[in-house]
Structure 1
Protein backbone atom coordinates (compact mmCIF):
# COMPACT_ATOMS: atom_id res chain seq x y z
CA UNK A 1 0.00 0.00 0.00
CA UNK A 2 1.08 3.58 -0.65
CA UNK A 3 2.43 5.49 2.34
CA UNK A 4 1.83 9.21 2.93
CA UNK A 5 3.16 11.67 5.50
CA UNK A 6 0.22 13.37 7.21
CA UNK A 7 1.66 16.73 8.29
CA UNK A 8 -0.06 18.23 11.33
CA UNK A 9 1.48 21.58 10.34
CA UNK A 10 1.94 22.76 6.81
CA UNK A 11 4.09 25.08 4.69
CA UNK A 12 1.52 24.94 1.89
CA UNK A 13 -0.33 28.21 1.32
CA UNK A 14 -3.35 26.24 0.14
CA UNK A 15 -3.71 24.83 3.66
CA UNK A 16 -3.83 28.23 5.40
CA UNK A 17 -6.41 28.21 8.17
CA UNK A 18 -6.77 24.42 8.22
CA UNK A 19 -5.62 22.49 11.27
CA UNK A 20 -4.76 18.81 11.23
CA UNK A 21 -4.92 16.76 14.44
CA UNK A 22 -2.36 14.23 15.59
CA UNK A 23 -3.64 10.88 14.40
CA UNK A 24 -3.18 9.40 17.88
CA UNK A 25 -5.91 11.72 19.20
CA UNK A 26 -8.49 10.12 16.91
CA UNK A 27 -10.28 6.80 17.43
CA UNK A 28 -10.21 3.97 14.93
CA UNK A 29 -13.22 4.51 12.66
CA UNK A 30 -12.84 8.28 12.65
CA UNK A 31 -13.04 10.24 9.40
CA UNK A 32 -9.96 12.33 8.60
CA UNK A 33 -9.59 15.13 6.07
CA UNK A 34 -6.41 14.69 4.06
CA UNK A 35 -3.84 17.44 3.64
CA UNK A 36 -3.58 19.20 0.29
CA UNK A 37 -0.28 17.52 -0.52
CA UNK A 38 -1.74 14.03 -0.01
CA UNK A 39 -4.87 14.91 -2.00
CA UNK A 40 -2.68 16.11 -4.86
CA UNK A 41 -0.35 13.10 -4.85
CA UNK A 42 -2.77 10.29 -4.08
CA UNK A 43 -5.99 11.46 -5.71
CA UNK A 44 -4.76 13.55 -8.65
CA UNK A 45 -1.37 12.17 -9.61
CA UNK A 46 -1.97 8.52 -8.70
CA UNK A 47 -5.70 8.74 -9.55
CA UNK A 48 -6.88 6.91 -6.45
CA UNK A 49 -10.55 5.94 -6.16
CA UNK A 50 -13.00 5.74 -3.29
CA UNK A 51 -12.35 2.47 -1.46
CA UNK A 52 -8.61 2.45 -2.12
CA UNK A 53 -6.46 1.85 0.94
CA UNK A 54 -3.17 3.37 2.04
CA UNK A 55 -0.97 4.13 5.05
CA UNK A 56 -0.75 7.45 6.90
CA UNK A 57 1.96 8.42 9.40
CA UNK A 58 2.34 11.79 11.11
CA UNK A 59 5.82 11.36 12.59
CA UNK A 60 4.67 10.97 16.18
CA UNK A 61 5.09 7.18 16.07
CA UNK A 62 3.30 4.30 14.40
CA UNK A 63 1.16 4.30 11.28
CA UNK A 64 -2.50 3.96 10.29
CA UNK A 65 -4.18 1.92 7.61
CA UNK A 66 -6.84 4.09 5.97
CA UNK A 67 -9.49 3.85 3.26
CA UNK A 68 -10.61 6.66 0.97
CA UNK A 69 -14.18 7.72 1.74
CA UNK A 70 -14.78 10.88 -0.31
CA UNK A 71 -12.95 12.68 -3.10
CA UNK A 72 -13.75 16.12 -4.50
CA UNK A 73 -11.79 18.62 -6.58
CA UNK A 74 -9.72 19.96 -3.67
CA UNK A 75 -10.58 17.72 -0.74
CA UNK A 76 -10.63 14.08 0.26
CA UNK A 77 -11.36 12.14 3.42
CA UNK A 78 -10.35 8.74 4.73
CA UNK A 79 -11.51 6.50 7.54
CA UNK A 80 -8.97 5.12 10.02
CA UNK A 81 -9.12 1.33 9.77
CA UNK A 82 -6.29 0.11 12.01
CA UNK A 83 -3.22 1.25 13.92
CA UNK A 84 0.22 -0.35 13.89
CA UNK A 85 2.89 0.62 16.41
CA UNK A 86 5.68 -0.11 13.89
CA UNK A 87 8.36 2.51 14.42
CA UNK A 88 11.37 1.23 12.43
CA UNK A 89 13.59 3.93 13.96
CA UNK A 90 17.05 2.84 15.01
CA UNK A 91 18.00 2.82 18.73
CA UNK A 92 20.94 5.09 17.89
CA UNK A 93 20.24 8.81 17.58
CA UNK A 94 22.44 10.47 14.96
CA UNK A 95 22.80 14.12 14.03
CA UNK A 96 24.97 14.87 11.00
CA UNK A 97 26.54 18.28 10.62
CA UNK A 98 26.68 18.23 6.82
CA UNK A 99 28.31 20.92 4.73
CA UNK A 100 25.91 21.69 1.89
CA UNK A 101 26.72 20.53 -1.63
CA UNK A 102 25.10 21.32 -4.97
CA UNK A 103 22.00 19.89 -6.62
CA UNK A 104 21.45 16.17 -6.76
CA UNK A 105 24.43 15.36 -4.55
CA UNK A 106 22.76 17.05 -1.57
CA UNK A 107 19.42 15.42 -2.34
CA UNK A 108 21.17 12.04 -2.50
CA UNK A 109 22.93 12.55 0.84
CA UNK A 110 19.67 13.46 2.57
CA UNK A 111 17.65 10.71 0.90
CA UNK A 112 20.09 7.91 1.70
CA UNK A 113 20.79 9.19 5.22
CA UNK A 114 17.04 9.07 5.85
CA UNK A 115 16.82 5.49 4.61
CA UNK A 116 19.64 4.61 7.02
CA UNK A 117 17.77 6.12 9.97
CA UNK A 118 19.46 9.48 10.63
CA UNK A 119 17.63 11.53 13.29
CA UNK A 120 18.62 15.00 12.12
CA UNK A 121 20.83 16.79 9.62
CA UNK A 122 22.30 20.14 10.55
CA UNK A 123 22.98 22.07 7.35
CA UNK A 124 26.36 23.81 7.35
CA UNK A 125 28.40 26.18 5.23
CA UNK A 126 32.18 26.18 5.39
CA UNK A 127 35.30 27.84 4.02
CA UNK A 128 35.72 25.32 1.18
CA UNK A 129 32.00 24.65 0.72
CA UNK A 130 30.32 25.08 -2.66
CA UNK A 131 27.01 26.40 -1.31
CA UNK A 132 26.44 29.64 0.59
CA UNK A 133 22.72 30.37 0.49
CA UNK A 134 21.43 33.91 0.33
CA UNK A 135 18.86 34.77 3.03
CA UNK A 136 16.04 34.73 0.47
CA UNK A 137 16.98 31.18 -0.61
CA UNK A 138 17.17 29.52 2.79
CA UNK A 139 13.48 28.91 3.48
CA UNK A 140 12.85 27.45 0.02
CA UNK A 141 15.89 25.17 0.18
CA UNK A 142 15.06 24.04 3.72
CA UNK A 143 11.52 23.11 2.64
CA UNK A 144 12.85 21.25 -0.41
CA UNK A 145 15.37 19.19 1.57
CA UNK A 146 12.80 18.41 4.26
CA UNK A 147 10.46 17.12 1.56
CA UNK A 148 13.28 14.97 0.17
CA UNK A 149 13.60 13.39 3.63
CA UNK A 150 9.83 12.92 3.94
CA UNK A 151 9.59 11.28 0.51
CA UNK A 152 12.37 8.89 1.53
CA UNK A 153 10.38 8.00 4.68
CA UNK A 154 7.30 7.30 2.59
CA UNK A 155 9.35 4.94 0.44
CA UNK A 156 11.41 3.11 3.06
CA UNK A 157 8.89 2.69 5.87
CA UNK A 158 10.43 5.03 8.46
CA UNK A 159 7.67 6.62 10.52
CA UNK A 160 9.70 9.41 12.15
CA UNK A 161 11.20 11.80 9.57
CA UNK A 162 14.64 13.25 10.27
CA UNK A 163 14.69 16.97 11.01
CA UNK A 164 16.55 19.10 8.46
CA UNK A 165 17.86 22.03 10.50
CA UNK A 166 18.32 25.63 9.35
CA UNK A 167 21.84 26.21 7.97
CA UNK A 168 24.61 27.70 10.07
CA UNK A 169 28.24 28.41 9.36
CA UNK A 170 30.41 25.60 10.67
CA UNK A 171 32.14 28.08 12.98
CA UNK A 172 28.83 29.14 14.52
CA UNK A 173 27.64 25.56 14.96
CA UNK A 174 30.86 24.40 16.62
CA UNK A 175 30.92 27.48 18.85
CA UNK A 176 27.36 26.75 19.97
CA UNK A 177 28.23 23.14 20.74
CA UNK A 178 31.25 24.20 22.78
CA UNK A 179 29.40 26.93 24.68
CA UNK A 180 26.13 25.18 25.57
CA UNK A 181 25.60 21.77 23.94
CA UNK A 182 22.30 21.15 25.75
CA UNK A 183 20.63 24.35 24.53
CA UNK A 184 20.98 24.26 20.76
CA UNK A 185 18.09 25.93 18.96
CA UNK A 186 16.60 23.83 16.16
CA UNK A 187 14.95 25.91 13.45
CA UNK A 188 13.17 23.67 10.96
CA UNK A 189 10.72 23.88 8.06
CA UNK A 190 7.13 24.72 9.10
CA UNK A 191 5.95 21.30 7.91
CA UNK A 192 7.80 19.63 10.81
CA UNK A 193 7.65 22.50 13.30
CA UNK A 194 5.13 20.81 15.63
CA UNK A 195 6.81 17.46 15.16
CA UNK A 196 10.21 18.83 16.22
CA UNK A 197 8.76 19.55 19.67
CA UNK A 198 7.88 15.89 20.25
CA UNK A 199 9.71 14.19 23.11
CA UNK A 200 11.39 11.77 20.67
CA UNK A 201 13.52 14.55 19.20
CA UNK A 202 14.51 16.02 22.55
CA UNK A 203 17.52 13.68 22.60
CA UNK A 204 19.01 16.10 20.08
CA UNK A 205 19.08 18.77 22.79
CA UNK A 206 21.33 16.65 25.01
CA UNK A 207 25.14 16.47 24.88
CA UNK A 208 26.22 13.75 22.46
CA UNK A 209 27.77 10.54 23.79
CA UNK A 210 30.34 10.77 21.00
CA UNK A 211 31.32 13.28 18.34
CA UNK A 212 33.19 12.16 15.24
CA UNK A 213 34.57 14.00 12.23
CA UNK A 214 34.82 12.02 9.00
CA UNK A 215 38.41 12.63 8.02
CA UNK A 216 40.70 12.02 5.08
CA UNK A 217 42.79 8.86 5.68
CA UNK A 218 46.14 9.76 7.19
CA UNK A 219 49.11 7.64 8.22
CA UNK A 220 49.40 7.12 11.96
CA UNK A 221 45.83 8.23 12.66
CA UNK A 222 43.53 5.78 14.51
CA UNK A 223 40.93 4.19 12.26
CA UNK A 224 38.15 5.11 14.67
CA UNK A 225 37.75 6.49 18.20
CA UNK A 226 38.39 3.86 20.85
CA UNK A 227 35.13 4.76 22.61
CA UNK A 228 32.88 4.03 19.60
CA UNK A 229 32.28 0.29 20.31
CA UNK A 230 31.50 1.08 23.97
CA UNK A 231 29.05 3.86 23.05
CA UNK A 232 27.27 1.57 20.60
CA UNK A 233 26.64 -0.95 23.39
CA UNK A 234 24.49 1.56 25.28
CA UNK A 235 20.73 1.00 25.25
CA UNK A 236 20.34 4.34 23.49
CA UNK A 237 23.26 6.32 22.14
CA UNK A 238 23.49 9.79 20.64
CA UNK A 239 26.26 10.37 18.09
CA UNK A 240 27.08 13.59 16.26
CA UNK A 241 28.96 13.44 12.97
CA UNK A 242 30.70 16.20 11.07
CA UNK A 243 31.10 15.80 7.32
CA UNK A 244 32.90 18.44 5.29
CA UNK A 245 32.67 19.53 1.65
CA UNK A 246 34.42 18.09 -1.40
CA UNK A 247 37.41 20.34 -0.73
CA UNK A 248 37.62 19.27 2.89
CA UNK A 249 37.51 21.39 6.01
CA UNK A 250 40.09 24.11 6.51
CA UNK A 251 42.82 23.62 9.10
CA UNK A 252 41.15 26.22 11.33
CA UNK A 253 37.81 24.38 11.07
CA UNK A 254 39.48 21.08 11.94
CA UNK A 255 41.09 22.65 14.99
CA UNK A 256 37.79 24.15 16.09
CA UNK A 257 36.07 20.76 15.62
CA UNK A 258 38.73 19.11 17.80
CA UNK A 259 38.18 21.73 20.52
CA UNK A 260 34.43 20.98 20.36
CA UNK A 261 35.18 17.31 21.05
CA UNK A 262 35.05 15.84 17.55
CA UNK A 263 37.40 12.90 17.17
CA UNK A 264 38.71 11.95 13.70
CA UNK A 265 37.21 8.87 12.10
CA UNK A 266 38.69 7.48 8.89
CA UNK A 267 36.67 4.75 7.20
CA UNK A 268 38.90 2.68 4.95
CA UNK A 269 41.83 3.94 2.93
CA UNK A 270 39.96 5.81 0.21
CA UNK A 271 38.68 9.39 0.14
CA UNK A 272 34.87 9.42 0.15
CA UNK A 273 32.75 12.01 -1.61
CA UNK A 274 30.68 14.29 0.59
CA UNK A 275 27.41 12.58 -0.48
CA UNK A 276 28.89 9.10 0.05
CA UNK A 277 30.36 9.75 3.50
CA UNK A 278 27.00 9.96 5.38
CA UNK A 279 25.84 6.67 3.84
CA UNK A 280 29.05 4.83 4.72
CA UNK A 281 29.22 6.35 8.21
CA UNK A 282 25.63 5.48 9.14
CA UNK A 283 25.85 1.99 7.65
CA UNK A 284 29.08 1.35 9.57
CA UNK A 285 27.61 2.60 12.84
CA UNK A 286 24.61 0.30 12.52
CA UNK A 287 26.75 -2.67 11.47
CA UNK A 288 29.05 -2.18 14.47
CA UNK A 289 26.06 -1.91 16.81
CA UNK A 290 24.75 -5.39 15.90
Structure 2
Protein backbone atom coordinates (compact mmCIF):
# COMPACT_ATOMS: atom_id res chain seq x y z
CA UNK A 1 0.00 0.00 0.00
CA UNK A 2 1.08 3.57 -0.67
CA UNK A 3 2.38 5.54 2.31
CA UNK A 4 1.78 9.24 2.92
CA UNK A 5 3.02 11.72 5.51
CA UNK A 6 0.10 13.34 7.34
CA UNK A 7 1.36 16.69 8.65
CA UNK A 8 -0.70 18.21 11.43
CA UNK A 9 0.68 21.68 10.61
CA UNK A 10 -0.89 23.92 7.99
CA UNK A 11 0.76 26.21 5.45
CA UNK A 12 -1.47 28.91 6.93
CA UNK A 13 0.04 30.01 10.24
CA UNK A 14 -3.40 31.13 11.47
CA UNK A 15 -5.06 27.77 10.77
CA UNK A 16 -5.53 25.36 13.69
CA UNK A 17 -3.44 22.20 13.92
CA UNK A 18 -4.97 19.02 12.60
CA UNK A 19 -5.38 16.28 15.24
CA UNK A 20 -2.62 13.74 15.70
CA UNK A 21 -3.61 10.37 14.32
CA UNK A 22 -3.14 8.85 17.78
CA UNK A 23 -5.85 11.17 19.13
CA UNK A 24 -8.43 9.62 16.82
CA UNK A 25 -10.19 6.31 17.38
CA UNK A 26 -10.48 3.42 14.97
CA UNK A 27 -13.32 4.07 12.54
CA UNK A 28 -12.93 7.87 12.66
CA UNK A 29 -13.18 9.84 9.45
CA UNK A 30 -10.44 12.37 8.69
CA UNK A 31 -10.13 15.04 6.04
CA UNK A 32 -6.88 14.57 4.16
CA UNK A 33 -4.40 17.47 3.78
CA UNK A 34 -3.98 19.02 0.33
CA UNK A 35 -0.56 17.42 -0.12
CA UNK A 36 -2.00 13.90 0.20
CA UNK A 37 -5.04 14.73 -1.94
CA UNK A 38 -2.74 15.95 -4.72
CA UNK A 39 -0.39 12.96 -4.61
CA UNK A 40 -2.83 10.13 -3.89
CA UNK A 41 -6.04 11.28 -5.54
CA UNK A 42 -4.81 13.38 -8.48
CA UNK A 43 -1.36 12.07 -9.39
CA UNK A 44 -1.96 8.40 -8.52
CA UNK A 45 -5.68 8.60 -9.41
CA UNK A 46 -6.91 6.77 -6.34
CA UNK A 47 -10.55 5.67 -6.16
CA UNK A 48 -13.07 5.45 -3.34
CA UNK A 49 -12.39 2.21 -1.48
CA UNK A 50 -8.62 2.29 -2.06
CA UNK A 51 -6.48 1.75 1.04
CA UNK A 52 -3.23 3.37 2.06
CA UNK A 53 -0.96 4.08 5.03
CA UNK A 54 -0.69 7.40 6.87
CA UNK A 55 2.03 8.37 9.36
CA UNK A 56 2.38 11.68 11.17
CA UNK A 57 5.84 11.24 12.71
CA UNK A 58 4.59 10.79 16.28
CA UNK A 59 5.01 7.00 16.18
CA UNK A 60 3.43 4.10 14.36
CA UNK A 61 1.29 4.36 11.27
CA UNK A 62 -2.35 3.92 10.29
CA UNK A 63 -4.13 1.95 7.60
CA UNK A 64 -6.89 4.05 6.02
CA UNK A 65 -9.55 3.70 3.33
CA UNK A 66 -10.78 6.45 1.03
CA UNK A 67 -14.48 7.20 1.53
CA UNK A 68 -15.14 10.28 -0.59
CA UNK A 69 -13.19 12.26 -3.18
CA UNK A 70 -14.14 15.64 -4.63
CA UNK A 71 -12.24 18.37 -6.41
CA UNK A 72 -11.08 20.05 -3.21
CA UNK A 73 -11.64 17.49 -0.47
CA UNK A 74 -11.07 13.82 0.33
CA UNK A 75 -12.21 11.85 3.40
CA UNK A 76 -10.59 8.65 4.67
CA UNK A 77 -11.50 6.27 7.50
CA UNK A 78 -8.95 5.01 10.03
CA UNK A 79 -9.04 1.22 9.86
CA UNK A 80 -6.11 -0.03 11.87
CA UNK A 81 -3.17 1.23 13.93
CA UNK A 82 0.15 -0.43 13.08
CA UNK A 83 2.62 -0.09 15.94
CA UNK A 84 5.72 -0.54 13.79
CA UNK A 85 8.87 1.36 14.73
CA UNK A 86 11.50 1.23 12.00
CA UNK A 87 13.82 3.90 13.41
CA UNK A 88 17.53 3.12 13.41
CA UNK A 89 19.09 1.87 16.67
CA UNK A 90 21.59 4.75 16.49
CA UNK A 91 20.46 8.34 17.06
CA UNK A 92 22.42 10.44 14.60
CA UNK A 93 22.76 14.07 13.59
CA UNK A 94 24.77 14.99 10.52
CA UNK A 95 26.31 18.43 10.19
CA UNK A 96 26.34 18.59 6.39
CA UNK A 97 27.93 21.39 4.41
CA UNK A 98 25.49 22.23 1.64
CA UNK A 99 26.22 21.26 -1.96
CA UNK A 100 24.45 22.12 -5.19
CA UNK A 101 21.37 20.66 -6.86
CA UNK A 102 20.79 16.94 -7.06
CA UNK A 103 23.87 16.07 -5.01
CA UNK A 104 22.32 17.65 -1.91
CA UNK A 105 18.98 15.98 -2.59
CA UNK A 106 20.77 12.64 -2.93
CA UNK A 107 22.66 13.06 0.35
CA UNK A 108 19.46 13.88 2.27
CA UNK A 109 17.46 11.11 0.58
CA UNK A 110 19.99 8.36 1.27
CA UNK A 111 20.76 9.53 4.81
CA UNK A 112 17.02 9.37 5.50
CA UNK A 113 16.76 5.83 4.14
CA UNK A 114 19.58 4.85 6.49
CA UNK A 115 17.75 6.29 9.50
CA UNK A 116 19.42 9.62 10.26
CA UNK A 117 17.60 11.55 13.02
CA UNK A 118 18.49 15.09 11.95
CA UNK A 119 20.57 16.95 9.38
CA UNK A 120 22.05 20.31 10.30
CA UNK A 121 22.65 22.32 7.12
CA UNK A 122 25.99 24.12 7.19
CA UNK A 123 27.97 26.68 5.21
CA UNK A 124 31.76 26.66 5.29
CA UNK A 125 34.83 28.38 3.90
CA UNK A 126 35.13 26.01 0.94
CA UNK A 127 31.42 25.36 0.56
CA UNK A 128 29.62 25.91 -2.75
CA UNK A 129 26.33 27.15 -1.29
CA UNK A 130 25.62 30.18 0.89
CA UNK A 131 21.90 30.86 0.97
CA UNK A 132 20.56 34.39 1.12
CA UNK A 133 17.98 34.98 3.89
CA UNK A 134 15.19 35.13 1.31
CA UNK A 135 16.15 31.69 -0.01
CA UNK A 136 16.24 29.82 3.29
CA UNK A 137 12.52 29.09 3.78
CA UNK A 138 12.05 27.74 0.25
CA UNK A 139 15.19 25.57 0.28
CA UNK A 140 14.46 24.30 3.79
CA UNK A 141 10.94 23.27 2.75
CA UNK A 142 12.32 21.53 -0.35
CA UNK A 143 14.94 19.54 1.55
CA UNK A 144 12.47 18.60 4.30
CA UNK A 145 10.11 17.34 1.61
CA UNK A 146 12.94 15.28 0.09
CA UNK A 147 13.39 13.60 3.49
CA UNK A 148 9.65 13.02 3.89
CA UNK A 149 9.37 11.49 0.41
CA UNK A 150 12.23 9.15 1.29
CA UNK A 151 10.34 8.10 4.45
CA UNK A 152 7.21 7.41 2.42
CA UNK A 153 9.23 5.17 0.10
CA UNK A 154 11.42 3.29 2.58
CA UNK A 155 9.00 2.71 5.46
CA UNK A 156 10.37 5.01 8.16
CA UNK A 157 7.59 6.63 10.15
CA UNK A 158 9.60 9.33 11.96
CA UNK A 159 11.12 11.74 9.42
CA UNK A 160 14.49 13.31 10.14
CA UNK A 161 14.48 17.00 10.93
CA UNK A 162 16.25 19.21 8.40
CA UNK A 163 17.64 22.11 10.43
CA UNK A 164 18.02 25.61 8.97
CA UNK A 165 21.50 26.58 7.74
CA UNK A 166 24.20 27.82 10.08
CA UNK A 167 27.81 28.72 9.49
CA UNK A 168 30.04 25.90 10.61
CA UNK A 169 31.61 28.26 13.15
CA UNK A 170 28.25 29.03 14.75
CA UNK A 171 27.35 25.34 14.89
CA UNK A 172 30.64 24.36 16.50
CA UNK A 173 30.49 27.18 19.04
CA UNK A 174 26.77 27.86 19.75
CA UNK A 175 27.52 29.65 23.03
CA UNK A 176 29.34 32.34 21.03
CA UNK A 177 26.14 32.99 19.02
CA UNK A 178 23.33 33.61 21.56
CA UNK A 179 20.92 34.75 18.83
CA UNK A 180 21.43 31.57 16.87
CA UNK A 181 18.17 29.61 16.98
CA UNK A 182 17.71 26.30 15.23
CA UNK A 183 14.71 26.39 12.91
CA UNK A 184 12.84 23.81 10.87
CA UNK A 185 10.34 23.95 8.01
CA UNK A 186 6.74 24.73 9.07
CA UNK A 187 5.71 21.27 7.81
CA UNK A 188 7.46 19.70 10.85
CA UNK A 189 7.27 22.61 13.28
CA UNK A 190 5.04 20.88 15.83
CA UNK A 191 6.58 17.46 15.24
CA UNK A 192 10.05 18.82 16.05
CA UNK A 193 8.91 19.49 19.62
CA UNK A 194 7.97 15.84 20.20
CA UNK A 195 9.93 14.10 22.96
CA UNK A 196 11.48 11.69 20.45
CA UNK A 197 13.62 14.53 19.08
CA UNK A 198 14.56 16.04 22.46
CA UNK A 199 17.76 13.99 22.62
CA UNK A 200 19.10 16.22 19.84
CA UNK A 201 19.34 19.05 22.39
CA UNK A 202 21.67 17.04 24.62
CA UNK A 203 25.38 16.35 24.22
CA UNK A 204 26.25 13.55 21.82
CA UNK A 205 27.94 10.39 23.08
CA UNK A 206 30.47 10.75 20.28
CA UNK A 207 31.32 13.40 17.69
CA UNK A 208 33.07 12.33 14.49
CA UNK A 209 34.64 14.51 11.81
CA UNK A 210 34.71 12.70 8.48
CA UNK A 211 38.18 13.42 7.13
CA UNK A 212 39.98 12.76 3.89
CA UNK A 213 42.68 10.05 4.00
CA UNK A 214 45.83 11.50 5.52
CA UNK A 215 49.01 10.03 6.92
CA UNK A 216 49.06 9.65 10.67
CA UNK A 217 45.30 9.74 11.24
CA UNK A 218 43.60 6.68 12.71
CA UNK A 219 41.22 4.82 10.43
CA UNK A 220 38.77 4.55 13.33
CA UNK A 221 38.70 6.31 16.72
CA UNK A 222 39.29 3.78 19.50
CA UNK A 223 36.23 4.94 21.44
CA UNK A 224 33.84 4.26 18.55
CA UNK A 225 33.19 0.58 19.25
CA UNK A 226 32.75 1.28 22.98
CA UNK A 227 30.07 3.88 22.24
CA UNK A 228 28.34 1.51 19.81
CA UNK A 229 27.85 -1.01 22.63
CA UNK A 230 25.36 1.38 24.26
CA UNK A 231 21.65 0.70 23.81
CA UNK A 232 20.84 3.84 21.78
CA UNK A 233 24.04 5.80 21.20
CA UNK A 234 23.80 9.39 19.99
CA UNK A 235 26.46 10.22 17.40
CA UNK A 236 27.13 13.47 15.56
CA UNK A 237 28.91 13.47 12.21
CA UNK A 238 30.54 16.47 10.55
CA UNK A 239 30.77 16.20 6.76
CA UNK A 240 32.56 18.90 4.78
CA UNK A 241 32.20 20.15 1.20
CA UNK A 242 33.91 18.93 -1.97
CA UNK A 243 36.91 21.11 -1.21
CA UNK A 244 37.14 19.84 2.34
CA UNK A 245 37.05 21.81 5.57
CA UNK A 246 39.62 24.55 6.06
CA UNK A 247 42.47 23.99 8.51
CA UNK A 248 40.83 26.42 10.95
CA UNK A 249 37.50 24.56 10.70
CA UNK A 250 39.20 21.20 11.30
CA UNK A 251 41.05 22.57 14.31
CA UNK A 252 37.87 24.13 15.70
CA UNK A 253 35.99 20.84 15.25
CA UNK A 254 38.70 18.90 17.08
CA UNK A 255 38.76 21.49 19.88
CA UNK A 256 35.06 20.84 20.63
CA UNK A 257 35.40 17.07 20.61
CA UNK A 258 35.09 15.94 16.99
CA UNK A 259 37.45 13.00 16.50
CA UNK A 260 38.80 12.56 12.94
CA UNK A 261 37.48 9.43 11.20
CA UNK A 262 38.58 8.33 7.77
CA UNK A 263 36.96 5.38 6.03
CA UNK A 264 39.14 3.67 3.46
CA UNK A 265 41.90 5.15 1.34
CA UNK A 266 39.84 6.97 -1.28
CA UNK A 267 38.49 10.51 -1.22
CA UNK A 268 34.69 10.28 -1.30
CA UNK A 269 32.30 12.86 -2.69
CA UNK A 270 30.36 14.81 -0.10
CA UNK A 271 27.06 13.15 -1.08
CA UNK A 272 28.63 9.67 -0.76
CA UNK A 273 29.98 10.18 2.76
CA UNK A 274 26.62 10.10 4.62
CA UNK A 275 25.79 6.76 2.98
CA UNK A 276 29.16 5.19 3.78
CA UNK A 277 29.37 6.61 7.32
CA UNK A 278 25.83 5.66 8.39
CA UNK A 279 26.09 2.20 6.83
CA UNK A 280 29.40 1.61 8.61
CA UNK A 281 27.98 2.74 11.95
CA UNK A 282 24.95 0.46 11.61
CA UNK A 283 27.15 -2.49 10.61
CA UNK A 284 29.51 -1.94 13.53
CA UNK A 285 26.54 -1.54 15.92
CA UNK A 286 25.08 -4.87 14.77
CA UNK A 287 28.49 -6.54 15.05
CA UNK A 288 29.02 -5.25 18.59
CA UNK A 289 25.61 -6.59 19.63
Normalised-by-shorter TM-score class = over 0.9
Q: CA deviation at 1:179?
A: 6.4
Q: Secondary structure at the match of 1:235?
A: coil
In structure 1, distance between residues paired with 2:206 and 2:238: 11
Query: 5 Å matches for 1:66-81?
Result: 66-81=64-79
Q: CA RMSD in A?
A: 1.5
Partner of 1:9: 9
Give the match for residue 283 of structure 1: 279
Question: Any residues of structure 2 matched to 1:52-71 within 5 Å, and which?
Answer: 52-71=50-69
- Residue aligning to 2:194: 198
- Written as runs of structure 1 = structure 2, the 5 A alignment for 1:4-43 is 4-11=4-11, 17=15, 19-43=17-41
Query: Structure 1 runs of 4+ off > 6 angstroms?
Result: none
Q: What do the CA deviations read for 1:194-253 (whole angstroms, capped 9, x no partner)?
A: 000000000101100000000011112111111110111101110000000000000000
Any stretches of 5+ residues in structure 2 without a counterpart? none
Which stretch shows the higher mean deviation, 16-25 or 70-79?
16-25
Q: For the residues of structure 2 that align with 1:138 and 1:273, how far apart are their CA atoms?
A: 24
Equivalences for residues 132-171 of structure 1 within 5 A: 132-171=130-169
Provide the TM-score with structure 1 as the length reference. 0.96
* Gapped regions of structure 1 (runs ≥ 5): none
Residue among 199, 215, 225 paired with 1:229: 225
Q: CA 1:67–1:16 in 2, change beyond 3 Å: closer, same or farther? A: farther
Aligned mates of 1:23, 1:41 — CA distance in 2: 19
Q: In 1, are the aligned partners of 2:59 and 2:157 still within 8 Å (CA)?
A: yes
User: Once the 2 structures are TM-superposed, how far is the Cα of residue 17 of structure 1 from its aligned partner?
Assistant: 2.6
Conservation of the 8 A alpha-carbon contact between 2:205 and 2:234: yes
Q: TM-score, normalised by structure 2?
A: 0.96
Which structure 2 residues correspond to residues 117-266 of structure 1 after superposition, within 5 A?
A: 117-176=115-174, 185-266=181-262
Q: Compared with structure 1, are the counterparts of its residues 53 and 71 closer, same or farther at alpha carbon in structure 2 (3 Å cutoff)?
A: same
